[in-house]
Amino acid sequence: MTRNLPTSGSLRNHLVLTLIGGAAILALLLFFAIRNYATQVAQQGQDNILGASVTSILDAASIRDGTIEVDIPYASFSMLSTQSDDRIFYAIYQDETFLSGYPKLSLATVSGQESIFQSVKHRGKTVRLVTASRTLIGIEKRTQIRVALAQTQDALSGTLAQISRNAALFGTGFFALAALLSIWASSTTVGQLKRLTNSVTRRGPQDLSPFEKPVPSEMLPLVTSLNSLMQRLDHSLGQSEDFIAEAAHRVRTPLATVRSYAEATLQRVDKEENRQALRSMVRAIDESSRAAGQLLDHAMITFRADHLEHQNLDLVALVNELVVRLMPIAEMKDLELRFHSDAQITYSGDPVLIQNAVRNLIDNALKYSPSEGTVNILVTAAPNVHVRVCDSGNGFPSEELNTLATRFKRGKNAEGTIGSGLGLTIAMDVARAHGGNLQLSNGTEGGACALLSL
Amino acid sequence: MRIAIALVLWVLPQVIFAQEWEDRQLFNDHASEQKLRIISSTDTSFFTPIIKSFISKYPNVAVEYLVTGTADIDRIFRATPDAFDVVISSAMDLQLKIVNDGLARPVSNVPLPSWAQWRQSLFAFTSEPAAIVINREAFAGHPIPDTRQKLIEALRARPEIFRGRIGTYDVRKSGLGYLFATQDARASETYWRLMEVMGALDIRLYCCSGDMINDLSDGTIAVAYNVLGSYATARVESKGAIEIILPSNFPTTMMRTAMVSIDAPHFEDASAFIRHLIALQSGSEKAAFPLPPLNSKLNDVERSTIALEPALMTFLDTLKRRRFLAEWEDAVIQKQQK
Ligand SMILES: Nc1ncnc2c1ncn2[C@@H]1O[C@H](COP(=O)(O)OP(=O)(O)O)[C@@H](O)[C@H]1O
Ligand SMILES: [Mg+2]
């Protein structure tokens, strides 16, 4: 029954992975966003200082006696001091002529008031370069002074590295928290499913009542269809039980009627020919009735074995009652039934099934052993609970020992005896349903022995 | 024009015979074929104990110590950075610009506070105020001026005594003189008035502190302005004749700096030398380190130490320098010729 179903992955893992993946992406985004923003802010800071510095240099430019003078204020470079001692480069141009500074510094063409900020390579180093210009009006001519000022970015990259570290730490923290949260969230979600599973498994075999406890709305369809499935199951089980009882009744009653008519007729018929025919008829009716009974018993056992109704019972009393009931039939055949047992054996099992099984075994013993014999019935709990029925007949046909318990199988010695081949099958099924087995053997001094262990 | 010719005549031989050093000494010569070459503006006498203690620690290293002026150092070193291992100079501005131009190689693990180093490449190891040094005789019976303002007053009071007997650096030739002058000018307007007064009194211009102190000791001049106190103190024989005054209103204080060349042939030894030098300066042994260390408190005057920052490059700008020198010449020389 508990066959392993193939799984299509774990819902929980799927949830956890999706959430953690999302968290990772978010954390990365966060990291880059923070870093990007910090870069902008830091760059803005450097640009502001560079801009102020270049403006102060331009302000110091003047025309004196026709020549350009740029009296760079000490503060212009002083304000560019950084923690990491960044290097600075500058160049001053009058129109297109280089005046002073670093001639190799490339500068942008500027016009008007605006300063131009660029990140360029200078002497193999990335520098932030600002270019600004100012137009001086002399006596004869207008002239443009351009100043380029560049600074390395050691302090900036130091700050950025620090910010990156912090952002990374922040992102990792965020990720860890989100991961924990997602694990917790998926556990609680899957927990609902587990709870339902538990309440399904914990149910008794007969409990087919619907689930009433509140479940999350997403699980409602599942629980609803589960409930409706169980309702249908309950219904069809009830129907089969009814059907078996009904069938037994429907077959047996008319057969009994037919038999009584046949017997009544037999009283009134004198012609030996006809009497013979009627006797055969009665025998056939008996046979059918018995076969029908066996068939129904078998069906009933098959059905009940799946839904075994355990009940505490005294096995000794149960078997003894049966033996007492069968006593008159045995006497009719001149057979002696001997009952041996422990004082009392408390056993949990289905009394109807066990009685049925033992009756079939005793029936066989009565059927297949000659008169004047003895049938020994032993009920004991040592070493394990079992019922043994041994007779003093010819025993089971030894070459068929292994197959006699199969359905509808009758032995070679069964010719002339009424039977359906289901007796041993029923006994075997009952034993198995109770976790035991049926063993057939022949005694050393003849006689068949059937051992029903439970 | 005369000056220009003089300048050319003065510079020319130095350009042609670049290896004409003020002094050149070998230490531990036999130890190795490879010599640690140090180009320096500091007199050999100050560095002899330093180099000797270095050699006693690293006996396998030979040291060649070459002395020349600060401006020369800048010119020679920039031309051949692979010919020198260590560059030592008192011209902080020139040194800083060399580092800014990428000609110095950083040395790690030098235990100096950030204000005493730049880019882990330029390391300060002395703290030396610019002093007014006077010949006592000239001030006998008169109060000794302890500020620039009082010096102006003293000079004005007795021009006949001081005419032709005042000396200072020729800032056009001396890198250190230029540094002192520019920092002085930056600090207060008094500098220009002082220069005008001195220029009017036919100031004598010197290339180097040595000559200036010589003249001071023998009475040729009575006042030397912006001289390194350390150099003056070193002249034991002249101690009686001269007096060193640290102007009580912020003496400009210079830090001697050292760096390792970007193309140093012996980088490891050069780094070791720098570390040794810094260790010596922070040590307490006066004999091993005859220069004033960074943390010395001379006369307890508050000093304005020139900061190691890119602003030092301001006065090295061509336009700025041209303008400053013009103004300086205006104050010092033009008046001299009038
Ligand atoms: N006590 C017995 N002695 C000898 N043979 C037996 C005995 N019990 C069963 N058998 C053999 O086993 C066969 C199967 O028995 P069973 O399943 O009860 O069917 P049925 O009795 O209806 O033939 C019988 O046909 C008979 O051959
Ligand atoms: Mg039978």
B contact residues 91-130, partner A, Cβ 8 Å cutoff: 99-100, 102, 114, 118-119
Separation CA B36–CA B85 (nearest Å):
6
Q: Is the dihedral of CA B81, B86, B91, B92 positive or negative?
A: positive
Would you say the CB of residue A357 lies under 6 angstroms from ligand 1?
no
A88/chain B closest Cα distance in angstroms: 7
Quick check: A291 pLDDT over 80? Answer: no
Q: Cα separations (Å) of A448 from A329, A377, B138, B237? A: 19, 12, 153, 143
Would you say the CB of residue A424 lies under 6 angstroms from ligand 1?
yes
A164/chain B closest Cα distance in angstroms: 23
CB-CB neighbors (< 8 A) of B114 in chain A: 83
User: How is chain A split into domains, by residue range?
Assistant: 15-161, 205-307, 309-453
- Judge contact between B31 and B59, C-beta under 8 A: yes
pLDDT at position A19: 87
Of A77, A89, A99, the CB nearest to B319: A99
Which strand (E) or helix (H) includes residue B36? strand B35-40
Closest CA to A92 of A136, A125, A27: A136
Residue A292: pLDDT band by 50, 70, 90 thresholds?
Answer: confident
Quick check: A373 pLDDT over 50? Answer: yes
Q: Give a yes or no: residue B241 inside a domain.
A: yes
Residue A420 alpha carbon to ligand 1 centre in Å: 9
- Please name the residue of chain B whose CA is at the shortest distance from the CA of residue A85: B119
Would you say the CB of residue A449 lies under 6 angstroms from ligand 1?
no
CB-CB neighbors (< 8 A) of A99 in chain B: 318-319
pLDDT at position B5: 56
Q: Which residues of chain B have pLDDT under 50?
A: 12-17, 298-300, 336, 338
Same domain, B121 and B8: yes
Separation CA A54–CA A148 (nearest Å):
7
Q: Give a yes or no: residue B205 inside a domain.
A: yes
Assign residue B92 the CATH number of its domain.
3.40.190.10
Range of the domain at B155: 129-253+317-332
Give bridge partners of residue A120 from the DSSP assignment: A127
A166/chain B closest Cα distance in angstroms: 25
pLDDT at position A197: 85
Of A72, A88, A92, the CB nearest to B100: A88
Of B102, B309, B323, the CB nearest to A69: B323
Residue nearest to atom 22 of ligand 1 (CA): A419
> Across residues A146-174, what is the average pLDDT?
91
CB-CB neighbors (< 8 A) of A77 in chain B: 309-314
Same domain, B321 and B201: yes
Quick check: A85 pLDDT over 60? Answer: yes
pLDDT at position A8: 81
pLDDT at position B94: 96
pLDDT at position A71: 92
Closest CA to A339 of A364, A358, A353: A358
CA B61 to chain centre: 27
- Judge contact between A419 and A288, C-beta under 8 A: no
Same domain, B198 and B321: yes
When comparing pLDDT for A402 and B76, which is higher? B76
- Judge contact between B68 and B54, C-beta under 8 A: no
Q: Nearest-5° angle of CA B43, CA B47, CA B48?
A: 110
- Judge contact between A428 and A442, C-beta under 8 A: no
Cis geometry, peptide bond prior to residue A383 (ω within 30 degrees of 0):
yes
Among A74, A123, A127, the strongest candidate for a mutation testing the B interface, having the largest count of B CBs within 10 A, is A74
Would you say the CB of residue A393 lies under 6 angstroms from ligand 1?
yes
Q: Give a yes or no: residue B312 inside a domain.
A: no
Two structure tokens written together for B173: 């030739």
Of B114, B310, B318, the CB nearest to A88: B310
Would you say the CB of residue A414 lies under 6 angstroms from ligand 1?
yes
Same domain, B244 and B267: no
Same domain, B138 and B220: yes
CA B81 to chain centre: 21
- Judge contact between B167 and B224, C-beta under 8 A: yes
A98/chain B closest Cα distance in angstroms: 11
Q: What is the pTM of this model?
A: 0.67
- Judge contact between A80 and A74, C-beta under 8 A: no
Residue A3: pLDDT band by 50, 70, 90 thresholds?
Answer: low
Same domain, B135 and B284: no
Would you say the CB of residue A404 lies under 6 angstroms from ligand 1?
yes
Residue A337 alpha carbon to ligand 1 centre in Å: 18
Ligand at minimal distance from the CA of A413 is 1
Q: Is the dihedral of CA A57, A63, A69, A74 positive or negative?
A: negative
Determine contact: B191 vs chain A, CB below 8 A.
no
- Please name the residue of chain B whose CA is at the shortest distance from the CA of residue A152: B100
Residue nearest to atom 14 of ligand 1 (CA): A410
Residue nearest to atom 6 of ligand 1 (CA): A396
For chains A and B, count residue pairs whose Cβ atoms are closer than 8 Å.
61
User: Which letter, b or e, does each residue of A248-260 get, where b requires 16 or more Cβ atoms within 10 Å of its Cβ?
Assistant: beebeeebeebbe
- Judge contact between B111 and B63, C-beta under 8 A: no
Q: What percent of chain A has pLDDT over 70?
A: 97
- Judge contact between B317 and B265, C-beta under 8 A: no
- Judge contact between B52 and B78, C-beta under 8 A: no
Q: Nearest-5° angle of CA B66, CA B67, CA B71?
A: 120
B242-245/B128-135 β-pairing? antiparallel
3-state secondary structure chain A: CCCCCCCCCCHHHHHHHHHHHHHHHHHHHHHHHHHHHHHHHHHHHHHHHHHHHHHHHHHCEEEECCEEEECCCHHHHHCCCCCCCCCEEEEEEECCEEEEECCCCCCCCCCCCCCEEEEEEECCEEEEEEEEEEEEECCCCEEEEEEEEEEECHHHHHHHHHHHHHHHHHHHHHHHHHHHHHHHHHHHHHHHHHHHHHHHHCCCCCCCCCCCCCCCHHHHHHHHHHHHHHHHHHHHHHHHHHHHHHHHHHHHHHHHHHHHHHHHHHHHCCCHHHHHHHHHHHHHHHHHHHHHHHHHHHHHHHHHHHCCCCEEEEHHHHHHHHHHHHHHHHHHCCCEEEEEECCCCEEEECHHHHHHHHHHHHHHHHHHCCCCCEEEEEEECCCCCEEEEECCCCCCCHHHCCCCCCCCCCCHHHCCCCCCCCHHHHHHHHHHHCCCEEEEEECCCCCEEEEEEC
Would you say the CB of residue A419 lies under 6 angstroms from ligand 1?
yes
Same domain, B43 and B108: yes
For ligand 1, what atom is nearest to the CA of residue A411?
27
Enter the ipTM.
0.87
Same domain, B119 and B138: no
Quick check: A1 pLDDT over 50? Answer: no
Supply the mean pLDDT for chain A. 87
Residue bearing tokens 């001997």:
A338
A contact residues 56-85, partner B, Cβ 8 Å cutoff: 68-78, 80-81, 83-85
HSE at residue B273, side-chain half, CA atoms within 13 A, is 32
Separation CA A86–CA A46 (nearest Å):
11
Q: Which CATH architecture does the domain made up of A309-453 adopt? A: 2-Layer Sandwich (3.30)
Same domain, B261 and B229: no
When comparing pLDDT for A377 and A211, which is higher? A377
Separation CA B132–CA B241 (nearest Å):
14
Q: Give a yes or no: residue B73 inside a domain.
A: yes
Residue B88 alpha carbon to ligand 1 centre in Å: 122
- Please name the residue of chain A whose CA is at the shortest distance from the CA of residue B113: A83
Quick check: A212 pLDDT over 90? Answer: no
Report the 10 Å Cβ neighbour count for B302: 10
Would you say the CB of residue A101 lies under 6 angstroms from ligand 1?
no
> Across residues A308-316, what is the average pLDDT?
85
Quick check: A108 pLDDT over 80? Answer: no
> Across residues A266-280, what is the average pLDDT?
87
For the stretch B222-277, pLDDT in tens is 999 998 877 877 775 656 788 888 887 778 899 999 999 999 999 999 999 999 99
Separation CA A221–CA A202 (nearest Å):
21
pLDDT at position B205: 94
Separation CA A415–CA A397 (nearest Å):
12
Q: Give a yes or no: residue B276 inside a domain.
A: yes
CB-CB neighbors (< 8 A) of B188 in chain A: none
Among A50, A62, A72, A104, the strongest candidate for a mutation testing the B interface, having the largest count of B CBs within 10 A, is A72
For the stretch A428-454, pLDDT in tens is 988 888 888 999 998 888 889 999 998
| Burial (0-12, 13-18, 19+ Cβ within 10 Å), B13 | exposed
Determine contact: B313 vs chain A, CB below 8 A.
yes
For the stretch A6-59, pLDDT in tens is 888 888 888 888 888 988 999 899 899 988 998 899 899 999 999 999 999 999
Same domain, B240 and B289: no
Separation CA B338–CA B335 (nearest Å):
5
Determine contact: A101 vs chain B, CB below 8 A.
yes
Same domain, B230 and B287: no
Quick check: A185 pLDDT over 60? Answer: yes
Residue type at position B129: P
> Across residues A357-384, what is the average pLDDT?
89
Same domain, B226 and B135: yes
Domains: count for chain B? 2
Mutational test site, ligand 1, from A286, A297, A368, max ligand atoms within 8 Å of CB: A368
Contacts of A183 (CB under 8 A, 6+ apart): A16, A20
Residue bearing tokens 């301001």:
B314
Quick check: A325 pLDDT over 50? Answer: yes
Separation CA A353–CA A306 (nearest Å):
12
- Is B311 within 8 Å of A75 when comparing Cβ atoms? yes
